[in-house]
Amino acid sequence: MEKENVQDALLKELAELECLLVSYSGGIDSTLLALLAQKVLQEKVKCILFDAPLVPRRAVKEAEETARKFDLSCSVIPFSILENEEFRKNSPNRCYICKKQSARTLRDQAEKMGISKIADGINASDLNEYRPGLQASNEEGILHPFLSIGIQKKEIRQLAQDCGFNFWNKPSGSCLASRIPYGEEITIEKLQIIEHAEDLLHDMGFSNLRVRLHGKIARIELMPEEFEKAVNMRDKMLDVLQDCDFSYIALDLKGYRSGSMDEVL
Determine the residue type at 124: A
Q: Is residue 158 domain-shared with residue 180, that is, in the same domain?
A: no
Rounded Cα gap, residues 55 and 94, in angstroms: 15
Nearest to 76 by CA among 45, 41, 109: 109
Q: How many CB atoms lie within 10 A of CB 22?
A: 30
Residue 261 has pLDDT above 90, yes or no: no
Strand partners, 250: 219
Q: Say what the pLDDT of residue 262 is.
A: 83
DSSP one-letter string for 233-252: THHHHHHHHGGG--SEEEE-
**Average pLDDT along the chain:** 94
For residues 81-91, give the mean pLDDT. Answer: 97
Structural domain of residue 234, as residue ranges?
176-264
170 located within any domain: no
Contact 71, 43 (CB under 8 A): no
**For the domain that residue 99 is a member of, what is the CATH number?**
3.40.50.620
- pTM of the predicted model, to two decimals? 0.92
Could you tell me if 40 and 73 lie in one domain? yes
**Total tally of structural domains belonging to the chain:** 2
Q: Averaged over 140-158, what is the pLDDT? A: 94
Q: What was the pLDDT predicted at 2?
A: 57
Query: For residue 95, what pLDDT is reported?
Result: 96
Q: Which tens digit of pLDDT belongs to each residue from 183-206?
A: 999 999 999 999 999 999 999 999
